[in-house]
Amino acid sequence: MLNRRVVVAGTIASLTLPGVASAQGLGGTVRLVVPYGPGGSTDTSARVLAERMASDLGKTIVVENRPGGGTMVGMVNVAKSKPDGNSLLLMTTTAALLPAFDMQLPIDPQKDLAMVSQLADIPCVLAVNASNSAKTFPEFLEWVKAQTGPVNYSTSSTGGLPHLWGELISTRTNGKLQHIPYKAAAEALRDAVAGHVPAFVDVTTPVDAQINAGTMRGLICGAPKRVANVSSVPTAAELGMPELEAAVYFGVATTAGTPADVIASWNAAINAALKVESVRERLTGLGYIPTGGTPDAYAKRLASETERWRKVIKAANIPAPT
């Protein structure tokens, strides 16, 4: 289902502000396609970005929700749009993960889309029920090894980044962690809080309230430095395991073939928006870590993440998501 929401109607044809490129060359209305339904944190982050850029550039930006196909519906929509910079995509980690499964896809996200900028990260967290005897991540690894059978961990789906990260962590216990997929993060977390599943793996936002309330114990966070909403949870780097850093990350892409100067204009607008304190506060409140950067840096990250997780997928024999 297509859901359209006009975020801001700009009344100035083109406006140049300090640190923001001119909007010349772009049409009057711009689409920002979100590959998820309305109302979630991803949709909210898109509207936060759209509001600021529309205000800075004097443009009308319409947020379009195009869920489906594991975000592929939204990616295909933008990939097949006119390459004029008027169709933007809020892109997710799936642009790196789906190609890692070597499955047949309707498009190649990294070739049929042009990267504009990274936007934000949400680091992964592994947490256990507060009744678990393991107080630290090293203790958890030893506890898992001491069990006679595999130890279950829950996530929201098969083939998502939390699942793959759990499998990467499982190598530390000779594969003794066993993935239990649920239909949604809320269900996976509920069973972990109830003690039906020993461990829960996801990004910080579903579990931060439980960690801070003491019903779940966060043991490791995949961020390079501590994250505000789970500040009690040590990072992979702190634990001497930087190879376990992992985050779901968001960026902005557009149609391949879009002129370089148009991409540069959007890149400047995004990076300028991410420097605004009110924008950073709203994104941080959603559990995001604002990033930004160049189009080339975003493209290189996607490519390297595809290769990284392809190795995990093959080693753990993980089936492609359906």
The residue ranges of every structural domain in the chain are 3-121+248-312, 122-246
Residue 19 has pLDDT above 50, yes or no: no
Secondary structure of the chain: what % helix, strand, coil (to 5)?
40, 25, 35
Which CATH topology does 3-121+248-312 take? D-Maltodextrin-Binding Protein; domain 2 (3.40.190)
Among the residue ranges 9-13, 40-44, 127-131, 283-287, the one predicted with the least confidence is 9-13
Backbone angles phi, psi at 161, to 5 degrees: -60, -40
**H/E run at residue 263:** helix 260-274
3-121+248-312 and 122-246 agree in CATH topology: yes
Q: Mean pLDDT, to the nearest integer, of 96-110? A: 96
Q: How many Cβ atoms from other residues are within 10 Å of residue 149's Cβ?
A: 7
| Three-class secondary structure of residue 214 per DSSP | coil
- For the domain made up of 122-246, the CATH class stated in words is alpha beta
- Predicted TM-score (pTM) of the model is 0.90
From residue 144, alpha-carbon distances to 186, 198, 318 in Å are 24, 10, 21
Say if strands 113-129 and 199-203 run parallel, antiparallel, or are unpaired: antiparallel
Question: How confident is the model at residue 50, as a pLDDT?
Answer: 96
Question: How confident is the model at residue 28, as a pLDDT?
Answer: 73
pLDDT band of 26, cuts 50, 70, 90: low
Q: Mean pLDDT, to the nearest integer, of 91-97? A: 96
> Which tokens is 102 given?
């070597």
